[in-house]
Amino acid sequence: MPFDYSRPAAGDISIPVVRIPATGAARGVLVMNPGGPGESGVQLAPVVDALLPAGVRQHYALVSFDERGTGSARPVGCGTDPAAVTSASPGSQSSGGRPPVTAVYAAMGAACRRRAGALIGQVGTVDAARDLNRLRRALGIARLDYLGLSYGTVLGAVFASMFPTHVRAMILDGAVDPTESLTAQAHDEAPAMDRSLAHLLATCRAAPACPLGPNPSLAFGALSAALARHPLPAPAHSPYPVTVGDLDAATFAAIALPVLAGSWEAAVVAAAHGNGGLLRQLALSGEEDLNGQPLVDPQWAITCADAAVHPSSAAVDALATSLQAEAPPLGAEAAAVDAAGCVGWPAANHPVSRLAVRGTPPLLVLSNQGDPVTPPVWAHRLVTHLARSTLVTWDGWGHTWLLNGSGDPCMAAVVTRYLDDPSAPPATTTCP
């Protein structure tokens, strides 16, 4: 792929690709992006393949790739330690103070400008969509069948806007509206995170023997306050103590993937007894790829390459303070995961600030009613940019249907039938 599409002679960038054969007689190829942004599509391909409905796996080979700047495709590396991010509190520890995570991200932005150089200007979604079109051509496919999870919905939507006649079917699961500003996204995500945490704690409380005791909310609040006052000693091989930042990051991981609830409960109990190792381990699960490669730098390089406006550190600090007051205890975490990382980044070369998809076949947008990472309101907004689309909602918890509800027969039928005939509308718009 050309490193810089405006200067094709300036060199190339290699994009690793993996193909998993269909289990039966193949009808086509389903190209996938797992999201992040920044996660390796090559590493996650077997995970996604195992979760797809049997009818899809039978008739479609799955193709995935490392997006430019990620995985093995010249990954953006600025030296940011993921533990430095998780251990930095997303909220201020004193009235009028600065959230520690803002300083960590500002240092990351400065380091990326020094160390990654021209690369950070060439990893945006517009360039990735051009790469995807070249991959389509290399596969010999006239019209693309595509599955995008989370950020992968942004890549899919941008591809559809740029190459509408090369789309056959497109499934956008965990939809993001890329035209929203980073701060607006944080305002949407904070209450969604709050609802998901309340559900996580209520589920534990309803269990026969909740590890957090008869009042999980009280136990969680007590640990949060304790870690804010007195961080726990750093785990082995890390210079960073375990803080309330680790608790918030671990909690974010657990509400995104409720299958981690048991691990989260064990980590909270261990931290309450003075051992923060499990909490740090869970906190890092969202900051590292499957092989342990840091995700922080590529995630924010892509995010900031797409954002038309990069908030100042003062604006992020104010955002964290206001969201923490509006949606405690995770409001400040929403500011950290949505906006804080773009402090100090250069202006985007090709920001994704407008989106108008015309001339495609019908597109399928999926949303979880209880998604804390990509709230349902984003899916409703995304479909307004897609001239022909249907929104199907799964009444479940966690981030994306595929990662949390792949066994649901109603949703599996929706997806399978759509790939069989994209022109036929789904039989339902809600799966309970």
Calculate the average pLDDT of the chain.
Answer: 95
Among 320, 342, 364, the domain-final residue is: 342
pLDDT band at 356 (very low <50, low <70, confident <90, very high): very high
Please name the residue ranges forming H helices in 207-352: 216-229, 244-256, 261-272, 277-284, 296-306, 313-326, 331-338
| Nearest C-alpha neighbor of 147 from the set 381, 421, 364 | 364
Q: Taking residues 247-256, report their average pLDDT.
A: 98
**Six-digit token pair at 353?**
């600030």
CA distance 29 to 21: 9
Asked whether residue 3 is assigned to any structural domain, the reply reads no
pLDDT band at 8 (very low <50, low <70, confident <90, very high): confident
Among 342, 376, 391, the domain-final residue is: 342
Q: What is the pLDDT of residues 67-123, one digit of tens each?
A: 999 999 999 999 999 999 999 999 876 555 678 898 999 999 999 999 988 899 999
What integer pLDDT is reported at residue 96 of this predicted model?
A: 58
Its sign, for the CA torsion 214, 218, 224, 230, is negative
Among 280, 311, 342, the domain-final residue is: 342
Residues 173 and 190 in one domain: no
Residues 69 and 168 in one domain: yes
DSSP per position, 359-403: SPPPEEEEEEEE-SSS-HHHHHHHHHHBSSEEEEEEEEESS-HHH
Asked whether residue 160 is assigned to any structural domain, the reply reads yes
Total number of domains in the chain: 2
Residues 239 and 302 in one domain: yes
Q: What is the pLDDT of residues 138-165, one digit of tens each?
A: 999 999 999 999 999 999 999 999 999 9
Residues 283 and 389 in one domain: no
% of the chain beyond a pLDDT of 90: 90
Domain of 386, CATH number, reads: 3.40.50.1820
Asked whether residue 2 is assigned to any structural domain, the reply reads no
Structural domain harbouring 132 = 8-74+120-179+353-431
Residues 215 and 254 in one domain: yes
**Phi-psi category of residue 208: left, alpha or beta, with phi > 0 → left and psi -120 to 50 → alpha:** alpha
What integer pLDDT is reported at residue 425 of this predicted model?
A: 86
Q: What is the pLDDT of residues 160-178, one digit of tens each?
A: 999 999 999 999 999 999 9
